[in-house]
Structure 1
Amino acid sequence: MICLICAGMASRIECQGPWEERDCPHCGHYRMADALILTLMEQGQIFDVAQTRNWLAQQRLNEVVPCIQAHEALLAL
């Protein structure tokens, strides 16, 4: 499986609900909303990898597995 942030190799983790969950050696463990993934694909956008990794690190201070939703996404063309 690939990481939804950096496109490197990642493990897919089974989860409940409208999420994709990944564990990437570089980006860490996270969940991403299915709606966000569809939006990214439709608009041909990608994440700013460094900025997203920083955001994930900050989120891990409050929650074990950060969840990226469309309204929180840091998108770059």
Structure 2
Amino acid sequence: STAHRVFAVRPIDHCPLDIAPGGGDGDIGLADLLLILADWGACTAADVTGDGAVDFQDLLTVVGAWGSCPG
């Protein structure tokens, strides 16, 4: 019997704050900010700080990283 292994390759996310639209567009900007405001209070992908809620800390984090994603 021959064993086969299958590996999945995922690209490294070099810009985790680029959350909109649908996983990012290469820029941290208005679309990302609007997603945070739309998801306020929930625990969704807009929770960029990973603290369990979309809140002021997420808003400040995205505004602080505003601009083009590196690489």
Shorter-chain TM-score above 0.5: no
Higher-RCO chain (CA-CA 8 Å, sequence separation at least 6): 2
Give the structure-1-normalised TM-score: 0.27
Structure with more of its chain in strand, by fraction: 1
